[in-house]
């Protein structure tokens, strides 16, 4: 058990190290001279030298890499070229909005997926089941950047129920969270259906029915609880799609999170901020995945008691 | 043909037709008519006009070509690179496999299209950079799948027999292993097409894809979001096209997967 936890943490650490190195080298993708791209062609030579020095680009790559990692260890991510503020501060400002959006999307997805999945499994091959299948196929096929504008069109512009964009109060969270959560709800509901159908065929479910338990107790207590484990794994893996989708969703709704910061920084050519955003989002994802793995072990008594 | 397949097949044929024959038609996706700015669909206006007075039907066809060729290139490059890397790792085993698994893990740590967004953003917009960025992200899925397949296939007797007969590893891989991995890889490729179509449109939506005046469904949706109240057709037309293509690809992918599963069940 302890060995498993340690090995998971160790492999997460290796991945984080690899991710940080890859992010470091991203700046070298900028065609030509990144300093010139950032400042424009009309910049003064002294400004260029100053920026080159500020970014450490006048040092050998090995020294740059060492500086970068020692900075990371001290949570020093450098300064934004655009605002001249420490990048760590910028990230901390934007992080709560992204966490809020992601968790709300996750909750909406779970709230839609479980009833839908249970219904299609219990009433397999009924009109409900086929309807749920169609809905989930549509949910997977609608990209965030189209679903978002559609929801704005219907609920904000035509019906006037919810705000168009921004982050003020709970009402402004509804449409972004729904946009981000729909695809996950679609995937999750199919997963719930499939695993529930599997557990419903198990011996212990037959036993539960044989001893005269009410059908809802059989489904909720015996079948669904056992169907949860694979669903949780999928949930952890899908969180990546959620974090990735948050970038686009934040742009659609002008949601002031990390995704919006990333895209704004790209358009302003504030490359150190882009690097820091990509790093933070990826490391968060690795962290959540590792926690999911550990939670899986803890939740499964067969593994926990070994 | 299965009667459920006429719908996705028709959509995909239409998409393919627009992509291949679109350039041969007398289309004017860049032709601006100031008097027709934001004119909604109607008689003589087909699908309506966009915010610059360009015909949306023509831009839809030109956008189909963009999404189709990006999807084709990205899936082809990713499939070849991924299968190559995954197969080498699984067949060679040992340290090589270990390194390749670590690299795959590192690429998988970037959620969704984050890495593609960062790469496309840093390399600058343009269709070439979109293809490079999406292939850099796309090969991982193929590599993981190919590795898993090869790991099990290389244990089989016919591979052992070939090895015993002194066949060289490259030939074993190409003749005796790769053909058996093709079915799942083709299924992966069909779902990858859906992913790439969404990703290309997504990058264009974010302003990181093809450059104006070139047409992309994603950039038309982005331009349309500014005029939603007066001209919802600018968002609806490319969005419906995008969704139909993705839906059709997903339906076909599902169908392919079901067929392969049945064969596997019968064989087992």
Q: Does B118 touch chain A (CB under 8 A)?
A: yes
Contact A145 B221 (CB under 8 A): yes
Quickly state the pLDDT bin for B265 (edges 50, 70, 90).
very low
What percent of chain B lies above the pLDDT cut of 90? 54
More confident residue, A67 or B3: A67
Chain A residues whose beta carbon lies within 8 Å of the beta carbon of residue B15:
none
Predicted ipTM of the assembly: 0.86
Give the residue extent of every domain in chain B: 48-267
> Distance from B175 to chain A by nearest Cα, in Å?
35
Quickly state the pLDDT bin for B266 (edges 50, 70, 90).
very low
More confident residue, B121 or B75: B75
Whether residue A197 has pLDDT greater than 90: no
CA dist A276 to A77, A87, A280, B3, B33, Å?
7, 7, 6, 51, 44
**Average pLDDT rounded to a whole number, residues A294-306:** 72
Q: Three-class SS string for chain A? A: CHHHHHHHHHHHHHHHHHHHHHHHHHHHHCCCCHHHHHHCCCCCHHHHHHHHHHCCCCCCHHHHHHHHHHHHHCCCCCECCCCCCEHHHHHHHHHHHHHHHHHHHHHHHHHHHHHHHHHHHHCCCCHHHHHHHHHHHHHHHCCHHHHHHHHHHHHHHHCCCCCCCCCCCCHHHHHHHHHHHHHHHHHHHHHHHHHHHHHHCCHHHHHHHHCCCCHHHHHHHHHHHHHHHHHHHHHHHHHHHHHHHHHHHHHHHCCCCHHHHHHHHHHCCCHHHHHHHHHHHHHHHHHHHHHHHHHHHHHCHHHHCC
Say what the pLDDT of residue A241 is: 81
Residue B146 near residue B86 (C-beta atoms within 8 A): yes
The structural domains of chain A, ordered by start, are 94-268 (1.10.3720.10)
Whether residue A305 has pLDDT greater than 70: no
> Distance from A216 to chain B by nearest Cα, in Å?
31
pLDDT digits 0-9 by tens, A102-117: 999 999 999 999 999 9
pLDDT digits 0-9 by tens, A251-298: 999 999 999 999 999 988 888 899 999 999 999 899 988 888 888 777
Contact B109 A15 (CB under 8 A): yes
Contact B121 A247 (CB under 8 A): no
Whether residue A306 has pLDDT greater than 60: no
**Average pLDDT rounded to a whole number, residues B29-49:** 82
* A:B CB pairs within 8 Å: 136
- CATH code given to domain B48-267: 1.10.3720.10
**Average pLDDT rounded to a whole number, residues B230-250:** 92
What percent of chain A lies above the pLDDT cut of 70? 99
Give one word for B44, left, alpha or beta, with left for phi > 0 and alpha for psi -120 to 50. Answer: left
> Distance from A20 to chain B by nearest Cα, in Å?
9
What percent of chain A lies above the pLDDT cut of 90? 33
By C-alpha distance, the chain A residue nearest B207 is: A267
Q: Does B177 touch chain A (CB under 8 A)?
A: no
Whether residue B263 has pLDDT greater than 60: no
Chain A residues whose beta carbon lies within 8 Å of the beta carbon of residue B106:
15, 18-19, 22
- Nearest CB among B110, B201, B207 relative to A282 is that of B110
> Distance from A183 to chain B by nearest Cα, in Å?
13
Contact A138 B205 (CB under 8 A): no
Residues 124-163 of B with CB under 8 A from A: 124
Q: Which residues contact A108 (CB under 8 A, 6 or more apart)?
A: A177, A178, A181, A185
Quickly state the pLDDT bin for B268 (edges 50, 70, 90).
very low
**Average pLDDT rounded to a whole number, residues A75-90:** 86
Residue A255, number of CB atoms within 10 A of its CB: 27
**Average pLDDT rounded to a whole number, residues B221-227:** 91
Say what the pLDDT of residue B194 is: 93
Say what the pLDDT of residue B69 is: 94
State how far the Cα of B38 lies from the Cα of B49, in Å rounded to an integer: 5
- Nearest CB among A152, A243, A271 relative to B111 is that of A243
By C-alpha distance, the chain B residue nearest A265 is: B121
State how far the Cα of B263 lies from the Cα of B34, in Å rounded to an integer: 58
Contact A240 B111 (CB under 8 A): yes
Mean pLDDT across chain B? 88
More confident residue, B77 or A157: B77
Contact A263 B250 (CB under 8 A): no
Residue A257 near residue A245 (C-beta atoms within 8 A): no
């Amino acid at each position: 058990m302890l060995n498993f936890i340690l090995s998971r943490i160790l492999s997460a650490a290796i991945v984080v190290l690899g991710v940080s190195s890859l992010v470091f080298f991203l700046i070298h993708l900028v065609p030509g001279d990144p300093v010139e791209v950032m400042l424009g062609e009309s910049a003064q030579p002294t400004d260029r030298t100053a920026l080159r020095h500020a970014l450490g680009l006048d040092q050998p790559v090995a020294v740059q890499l060492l500086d970068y990692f020692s900075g990371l260890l001290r949570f020093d991510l450098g300064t934004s070229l655009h605002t001249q503020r420490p990048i760590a501060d910028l990230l901390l400002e934007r992080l709560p909005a992204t966490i809020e959006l992601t968790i709300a999307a996750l909750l909406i997805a779970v709230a839609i997926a479980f009833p839908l999945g249970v219904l299609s499994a219990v009433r397999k091959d009924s009109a409900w089941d086929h309807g749920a299948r169609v809905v989930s196929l549509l949910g997977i096929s609608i990209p965030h950047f189209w679903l978002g504008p559609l929801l704005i069109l219907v609920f904000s512009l035509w019906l006037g129920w919810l705000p168009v964009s921004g982050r003020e109060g709970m009402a402004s969270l509804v449409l972004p969270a729904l946009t981000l959560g729909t695809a996950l709800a679609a995937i999750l509901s199919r997963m719930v259906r499939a695993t529930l159908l599997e557990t419903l065929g198990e011996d212990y479910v037959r036993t539960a029915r044989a001893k005269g338990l009410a059908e809802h107790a059989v489904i909720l207590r015996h079948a669904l609880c056992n169907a949860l484990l694979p669903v949780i794994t999928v949930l952890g893996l899908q969180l990546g799609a959620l974090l990735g989708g948050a970038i686009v969703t934040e742009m659609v709704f002008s949601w002031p999170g990390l995704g919006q910061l990333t895209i704004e920084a790209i358009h302003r050519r504030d490359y150190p901020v882009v690097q820091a955003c990509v790093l933070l989002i990826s490391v968060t994802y690795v962290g959540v995945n590792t926690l999911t793995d550990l939670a899986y072990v803890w939740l499964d008594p067969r593994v926990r008691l070994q | 043909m299965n009667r459920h397949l006429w719908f996705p097949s028709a959509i995909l044929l239409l998409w393919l037709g627009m992509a291949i024959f679109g350039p041969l038609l007398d289309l004017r996706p860049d032709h601006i008519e100031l008097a027709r700015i934001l004119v909604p669909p109607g008689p003589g206006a087909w699908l309506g006009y966009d915010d610059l007075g360009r015909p949306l039907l023509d831009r839809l066809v030109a956008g189909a070509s963009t999404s189709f060729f990006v999807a084709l290139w990205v899936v082809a490059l990713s499939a070849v690179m991924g299968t190559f890397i995954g197969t080498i790792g699984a067949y060679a085993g040992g340290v090589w496999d270990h390194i390749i698994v670590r690299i795959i893990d590192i690429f998988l740590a970037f959620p969704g299209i984050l890495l593609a967004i960062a790469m496309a953003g840093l390399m600058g917009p343009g269709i070439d950079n979109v293809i490079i960025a999406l292939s850099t992200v796309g090969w991982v899925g193929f590599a993981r799948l190919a590795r898993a397949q090869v790991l099990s296939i290389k244990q089989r007797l016919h591979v052992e027999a070939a090895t015993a007969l002194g066949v060289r590893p490259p030939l074993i891989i190409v003749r005796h292993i790769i053909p058996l991995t093709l079915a799942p890889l083709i299924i992966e490729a069909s779902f990858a097409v859906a992913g790439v179509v969404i990703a290309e449109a997504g990058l264009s939506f974010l302003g990181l894809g093809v450059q104006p005046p070139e047409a992309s469904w994603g950039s038309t949706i982005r331009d349309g979001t500014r005029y939603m109240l007066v001209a919802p057709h600018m968002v609806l037309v490319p969005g419906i096209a995008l969704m139909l293509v993705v839906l059709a690809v997903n339906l076909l992918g599902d169908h392919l997967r079901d067929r392969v599963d049945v064969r596997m069940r019968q064989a087992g």
